[in-house]
Every structure is written in structure tokens, then in C-alpha cells.
Amino acid sequence: MGNMARPTPIGQPSPFLLTITNKRGELMKKLIITCMVTLVSLAANAQKFALIDMEYIMKNIPAYERANEQLNQVSKKWQAEVEALSNEAATMYKNYQNEVVFLSQDQRKAKQEAIMKKEKAAGELKKKYFGPEGELYKKRESLIAPIQEAVYNAVKELSEQRGYSLVLDRASDTGIIFGSPKIDISNEVLGRLGYSN
């Protein structure tokens, strides 16, 4: 009977529970100290932010304006080609409606097929020029992508030199309600690219 544990008197916690409670208390102290050290180190390493206005930057780059003008001209030219085919199809259909009562079944079928073929050609031409992977998209990529790349590199260089952790575009980020002009580096980006404003 000498090895049996004595029962704990009523109203007093068992030694086992005291050990768990003490370990839990020590763990909480360590956790609180760790959190405090983390917060202090975060405050010491305050993150630096900057804003740019990509729309403003692009409008102040002459090559971008020239590229847009080129895109507008080629777009108008291609749009005229598509409209010409569509108008031909519309004229063919109008003529067909005026003549339909005088046409044989074979003539009707031939005219309908010709109209559908012309409409299909107009649709395919429109897709070729203005589709998601169309000629206009490719032209835009070839003209504007190098300018955007140069802007990106200028922003990256400035960020690395000045230690910015994050650079936001105020033109495209609708989540920015207010940004101090002091942290806007748009003019510095333009200067880095060789344009002053």
C-alpha cells in the first residue's frame, strides 16, 4: 500500500493539474514574448510604399502616343474592310429579298449560300483582325509591350534603390482611396526613362 497515490483532498487541485497549468502558463508567456519581439521587429523594419500613375506615365511618353496613333489608323483601315464585306452581304440579302419571288428553287439556294458565304467571310475577317489573338492584339503587343517593359524596369530600379517593398498603380487599383503626393514616384519614373515633366 506504500506505493499507492494518496487521494487529493476535496477542494484542492491535483498535483498533475498544477503541472499542466504551470506548463500552459509558461507556454503562454513564451508565446506573448515571441509576439512582442515580432511586433517590435516589424515596427523597426517599417515597410516603404510608393505610388505610380501608369496612365499619366504612358501619356507622357511620346512613343506610346505614336503607337496608339498607329493602332488607331490600322484599326480604322481594318474596320473599313470588315464593314465593306458586311455591306456586300447586306446588299446581296436585300437584292435576294426583292428577287426571291422570281427565282427558282435552285437559284434561291445558290443565292442563300452566296449570302451566307459572304457573311461568314466578314465574320472571319473580323475575328482575324479584332479577335482575342487577332492582328490588332499582335500589333498592340509589338508596339506597346516594349514601352511597358521599360516602365516596369524603371519602377523596379527605383524600388530597389529606395527600398520600396510595394509600388501600387493608382490608375488601375480602385482600392486606393487616398495616396499622398509625397509617395508618388511617377515623375521620377519618367525621368529615369529620359522624359521630364
Q: What is the pLDDT along the chain (197 residues), one digit of tens a residue?
A: 455 555 555 655 555 444 544 555 566 666 666 655 555 555 555 678 888 888 899 999 999 999 999 999 999 999 999 999 999 999 999 999 999 999 999 999 999 999 999 999 999 999 999 999 999 999 999 999 999 999 999 999 998 998 888 888 877 766 666 767 788 888 889 989 888 76
Please give the pLDDT value at position 171: 74
**Residue 4 is assigned to a structural domain of this protein:** no
Q: Which residue has the cell 506504500?
A: 2
Judge if 147 and 84 occupy the same domain. yes
Judge if 79 and 126 occupy the same domain. yes
**Residue 180 is assigned to a structural domain of this protein:** yes
**Residue 56 is assigned to a structural domain of this protein:** yes
Judge if 41 and 83 occupy the same domain. no
Q: Is 10 exposed, middle or buried (0-12, 13-18, 19+ CB in 10 A)?
A: exposed
Tally of structural domains, the chain: 2
Judge if 39 and 111 occupy the same domain. no
**Residue 119 is assigned to a structural domain of this protein:** yes
**Residue 146 is assigned to a structural domain of this protein:** yes
Contact 165, 47 (CB under 8 A): yes
Long-range CB pairs of 116-123 (<8 Å, 24+ gap) are 118/85, 118/88, 118/89, 118/92, 119/86, 119/89, 121/85, 122/82, 122/85, 122/86, 122/88, 122/89
Tell me the residue range of the domain where 133 lies.
51-192
> What CA–CA distance (Å, rounded) separates 149 from 55?
15
Judge if 130 and 160 occupy the same domain. yes
- Grid cell, residue 140, equals 498592340
Judge if 112 and 160 occupy the same domain. yes
Q: How far apart are the first and last CA of the chain?
A: 95
Please give the pLDDT value at position 18: 46
**Residue 128 is assigned to a structural domain of this protein:** yes
Judge if 41 and 97 occupy the same domain. no
